[in-house]
Structure 1
Amino acid sequence: MWWPRAWRRSSRKTIFPDHRPESGGIGSMPPATAWGHLPGTQADPGIVRAIGWSGDMATDILLINPPYRMVPPFTYDRYEQIDPPRNLAILAAWLEASGVSVEILDAPVLEMSFDDIAQMIRQRRPRIIGITNRSTSTFPMVQRVASIAKAVSPEAPVIVGGTYVSWMPEEALSNCRDIDYLVIGEGDIQTPELVTRLLDGRSVHDIAGLAYRDPSSPQHIKRTPPARVVEDLDQIPFPAYHLVPIEKYVGRGERYILSLTRGCIFHCEYCTSSFERGRVRSHSVAKVMSELRWAYEKGFRYFYFFDDILTVDRERIVELCDAIIGSGLSFPWHCLTRSEYVDEALLHKMKAAGCDRIAYGVESASASSLASFRRRVKKTREAFALTRMAGIRSIAFAVFGFPGETFADQIATIRWLRELNPGMVRDFTYKPYPGTPQYANPEKFGIQISDRNFVRWSQQDEPVHRTEHLSEEEIIEVRVLCSYIFRSQGQLQGGVRYRRKKKVVMVRVENGALIYNHYKADEERRVDLYLNCLRVSALYFEVMLHCDGYHNVPAITEIIAKLFNLDRDGAYRKVRHVVEHASQHGMLEEMPALAPALPDGVDATPPDGTEAAVRLPAEDRILSAPGLG
């Protein structure tokens, strides 16, 4: 039905006629010049097949989920979660209901580089380009994609929606001249209206929930009044997952994310996870169960409810659990909640329905911080005990580096976590996120922001601030200590000064728990939290991490060659250098001769002419690094 309408829109002059690429980035260049910066003219056939696209017809809007990294390598290993892009799929469903042709490009699951994205934009010729901004730390990737979009298709308006741009629209537009419109908030209502008006060449300046540059004065940014939200969440259409390669997520064993509610009843001043505070809106249980059944039939076997507080409405969560139990489906799922919203009977009901993990925000043991978070110590202690008794694994979220806290407060938090005895601890670095009072007025809270490169603003990354009581170094130290304590089951000992050692210290952990920044690749990434604390280079870290009892020198060489874009000889020399150094210091040991076989295709023969300077482990022996000291 939309073909005549799409044909009518084909005249590019009718689409926002006063739109021009602004200065800054490749987007300011003439199209022919800009294309010279984007190698390749044909989209990767493998990617096209994976998406299921056919033909060369221009689409109305291309929705893009950017890569997780700024530079290569763009491969995504098993430990990296790649959830189906739910928000984009919901927006796509709204747009399709409005008669708009939509395509989704989920770069992470397709392992796409920025060059790949440029080629796909060139091939699909979208009239409008939409980009999702998952978090503050992903905004640099959004900027990169917006710049590419303007270089390849300078007349296509670029729309961005998401977390950072919703809280700081003026700052976002000032920092990225390649973005034309920002959708502020949830976007369900204003996005279809914005897109259809742009396609028809009509004015968009009276649409609520937008930010854009004044066409008559590009330096002046206009922001319209807040948009309405969807009150009845059952009116939200089913996500348009037919536009993404759903089999790829299933094949990776990814979780399926969904929600029972939107909004949060609390007003935590450090949090920006919810655009609407003070109230919660809910889906019906029937609607949620319909989606659960669909996802299960597609092959998903693990589910995550990403509500801020899933159990805030006790009657509804009990109804959901009863529906899951009565459905005959059996699958594990996990959720987030607060300690004051669980009780013994509810936890046993959730366990019977398949809940295997619950994450609680412990945050801190500081009295002042607990007061601002409205956390009650007694309820927290009870919740962890009851969760354990119900047979559900509890996860404690702890955040280090809050303003006003001292180093002693950080140690008290670790002691408090030990007392709670959770099944797992997830430690994070406090970030004064855009949209919070601490970002707007850091001096008032005793904060000095030291790094405004948003690539580093993930809570898993190094601190980007110091406080009146804590240096960046001390925040790093306490996170490493927390990581060690709860991954080695170590104990805090009285009278011991816990400080980072000057020599190399590596803690062997399981499941890749030594995490480093996923958003930037090694060659352009500053040393992150764990590499900093270990005092080793990224390459040294990767080599030692793969001395895990499953790899030998040739296998590690293959991995290093791919990760660091080296030829095999160069990678081999670097691996042998690290192995030699580690062997000299007694850091490595050979596993028994009955070690696992080498991966298929791995050549165990070292390059000719390479000689070991010291007695080294046999080339084909599996290596293990039980610890460094």
Structure 2
Amino acid sequence: MLNADYIVLGEGEETMKDLVYHLESNLDVDDVKGIAYKKSDGTVKINERRELIKDIDSIPFPAWDLFPMDHYTLLRMPNIGSNERCMVMYSGRGCLFRCNFCYRMDKGFRPRSADSVIEEMRILKERYNISYIAFFDELLVSSVERVTEFCEKLIAANLNMKWDCNGRLNFAKKEMLELMKKAGCVFINYGIESMDEEALKRMNKSLTTSQIIKGIENTLAAGISPGYNIIFGNIGETDKSLQLGVDFLLKYDDHSQLRTIRPVTPYPGCPLYYYAIEQGLLKDVEDFYENKHVNSDLLAVNFTPLSDDEFYNCLRDANKALLNNYYDSLKKNAIETEENLYNKRDASFRGFRRT
């Protein structure tokens, strides 16, 4: 038990201010929207949810000065230089898609304005020498129009910063990706999930395998590294579904980031969670957290026709192939670096054990 006094439900910016005000003023917290707490008699009270912040540009920038920035800027992301400083940012909140394995705390998608995002980037560069921005929000690439506006304004701002983001492969058009590359994008993390056409339909991914392949090829052609997220074990998937994903990764992976395949997890709140309860595979939230979800790389619920042993055997062999492929690439690159060092007297070499 965490013995928390209060729990903030959903967005915390307005709720935290309201809660602190009530506590400091010795006021009853019954009317503080967006919290849950245990009353003096031991019962749990869940207050009315707070409305979402409509204009997220109105939220002040983080108080970076209160944190050890020299520590946080050491975050390593794909295609970042060893001497570069990185910081996390958000360009918006939410996602309009409805994959069956993904839970949404809040409905809808609320983007920040391009001007607000670029201003935050400018401040981070000037105050903390940040040269790489990692956009951690669910979906920066929410439309071609939004990305185009952002990239054009970012290029005009002349910040010359690298960045990465999360994207959707149905939006991965050649012209947009070339503009993203020009604006400094070096990595786009994509939710692929499966290369089984029927599995994509069942998980409500709103993608086809042809869109995935074309989008990845466009991304690579633009000089941007793609991030490949594939999961296994959604409703009806088989060992053949898994092999399709492995074959795809082995063909297209540019080795900018180690990728393995994990089992799908029916987190409470997502459609797959309620399906598991309907099918008698899961009892409730307590069953999920106390008994089923013990590790993100292990099965929580098996939705496939495979036995648990068969499932793990397939996943073990799949990830063994992916791990061998990735580390073989690292070994090859290390040997080439060593040859350049001694054969070509490469004076830029800074050691094999650098971060």
- Pair 1:451–1:281, CA change in 2 (3 A): closer
Q: Is the alpha carbon distance of 1:228 and 1:452 closer, same or farther for their aligned partners in structure 2, counting shifts above 3 Å?
A: closer
* Paired AA for residue 189 in structure 2: A
Corresponding residue to 2:21 among 189, 193, 196 = 196
Counterpart for residue 346 of structure 2: none
2:35 to 206, 210, 220: 210
Gapped regions of structure 1 (runs ≥ 5): 1-142, 147-177, 491-506, 512-547, 550-629
Answer whether contact 1:431 1:457 (CA < 8 A) is retained.
no
Match in the other structure for 2:269: 435
Counting only pairs closer than 5 Å after superposition, residues 200-239 of structure 1 correspond to structure 2 as 200-216=25-41, 218=42, 220-239=43-62
Structure 2 SS opposite 1:380: helix
SS at match of 2:189: strand
Kindly provide the CA deviation profile for residues 450-504 of structure 1, in whole angstroms up to 9, marking residues without a partner as x. 9745896553x322333452344444333333333334349xxxxxxxxxxxxxx
The change in CA–CA distance for 1:441 and 1:467 in structure 2 (over 3 A counts) is closer
Q: Distance in 1 between matches of 2:303 and 2:109?
A: 34
CA distance in 1, matches of 2:269, 2:174: 37
Aligned to 1:296: 125
Q: Equivalents in 2 of 1:336, 1:321: separation in Å? A: 15
**What is the one-letter code of the residue matched to 2:177?**
L
Partner of 2:99: 268
Q: CA separation of 1:360/1:241 partners in 2, compared to 1, >3 Å: closer, same or farther?
A: same
Question: Deviations along 1:246-285, whole A, 9 cap, x unmatched?
Answer: 122235666311122111111223113x4223x3112121
Letter in 2 for 1:257: V
Aligned residues: 316
Is residue 384–residue 422 contact of structure 1 (8 Å, CA) maintained in 2? no
Q: Does 1:396 align with 2:232?
A: no
Change over 3 Å in CA distance of 1:433–1:254 after alignment to 2: farther
Quick one: which of 307, 318, 325 aligns to 2:137?
307
Give the 3 Å change call, closer, same or farther, for CA 406–390 of structure 1 in structure 2.
Answer: same
Shift of 1:435: 2.0
Cα distance in 2, alignment partners of residues 313 and 351 from structure 1: 16
Q: 2:73: which partner in 1?
A: 250
Contact 2:148–2:176 (CA under 8 A) maintained in structure 1 = yes
Separation in 2, partners of 1:436, 1:445: 15
- 2:318 partner SS: helix
Q: After the TM superposition, which residues 306-385 of structure 1 pair with which residues of structure 2 at under 5 Å, given as runs? A: 306-371=136-201, 372-385=204-217
Question: In the aligned structure 2, how far is the partner of 1:334 from the partner of 1:406?
Answer: 33
Conserved in 1, the CA contact under 8 Å of 2:237 and 2:305?
yes
Q: Is the 8 A contact 1:213 1:222 kept in 2?
A: yes
Asked whether 1:185 is paired with 2:10, we answer yes
The letter of the residue matching 1:180 is D
Q: Secondary structure at the match of 1:399?
A: strand
Judging changes above 3 Å, is the alpha-carbon distance between structure 1 residues 214 and 509 closer, same or farther for their aligned structure 2 residues? farther
In 2 relative to 1, CA 474–200 (structure 1 residues): closer, same or farther, beyond 3 Å?
A: farther
Inter-partner Cα distance in structure 2 for 1:454 and 1:307:
30
* Residues in 1 aligned to 2:67 and 2:291: alpha-carbon distance in whole angstroms: 28
For residues 48-127 of structure 1, the aligned pairs below 5 Å read none
- The answer as to whether partners of 1:211 and 1:224 remain within 8 angstroms in 2 is yes
Distance 2:89 2:229 in 1: 21
Inter-partner Cα distance in structure 1 for 2:169 and 2:208? 8
SS class of match (2:245): helix
8 Å contact from structure 1 (residues 250, 299) kept in 2: no
d(CA) in 1 for partners of 2:69 and 2:89? Answer: 15
**Retained in 1: the 8 A contact 2:192–2:212?**
yes
Equivalent residues of 2:246, 2:322 under 8 A apart: no
SS at match of 2:223: coil
Instruction: State the AA in 2 paired with 1:478.
Output: C
1:363 aligned partner, one-letter code: E
Q: Assess if the C-alpha contact under 8 Å between 1:438 and 1:445 holds in 2.
A: no
Matched with 1:259 is: 90
Aligned-partner SS, 1:189: helix
Contact 1:213 1:221 survives alignment (8 Å):
yes
Tell me which of 408, 432, 454 is aligned to 2:240: 408
The DSSP-based 3-state class of the residue aligned with 2:71 is: helix
Contact 1:260 / 1:307 at 8 angstroms: preserved in 2?
A: yes
Q: Judge which range, 400-409 or 461-470, deviates more.
A: 461-470
Residues 399 and 428, structure 1, Cα contact 8 Å, conserved in 2: yes
* Partner residue in 2 for 1:65: none
- Output the TM-score relative to the length of structure 2: 0.79
Distance 1:210 1:418 in 2: 47
For the pair shown, the structure with the greater C-alpha radius of gyration is: 1
Question: Quick one: structure 1 residues 214 and 441, their matched pair in 2 at CA, closer, same or farther if it must change by over 3 Å?
Answer: farther
Confirm or deny: 8 A CA contact 2:233 2:304 kept in the other structure: no
RMSD over aligned Cα atoms? 3.0
Aligned equivalents of 1:509, 1:417: Cα separation in 2 = 14
DSSP 3-state at the match of 2:30: coil
Question: Hey, what's the Cα distance between the residues in 1 that align with 2:307 and 2:273?
Answer: 18
C-alpha change, 1:478 and 1:257, in structure 2 (3 Å) is farther
Contact 1:403 1:446 in 2 (8 A): no
Structure 1 residues 364 and 301: CA distance shift in structure 2, 3 A: same
Secondary structure of residue in 1 paired with 2:31: coil
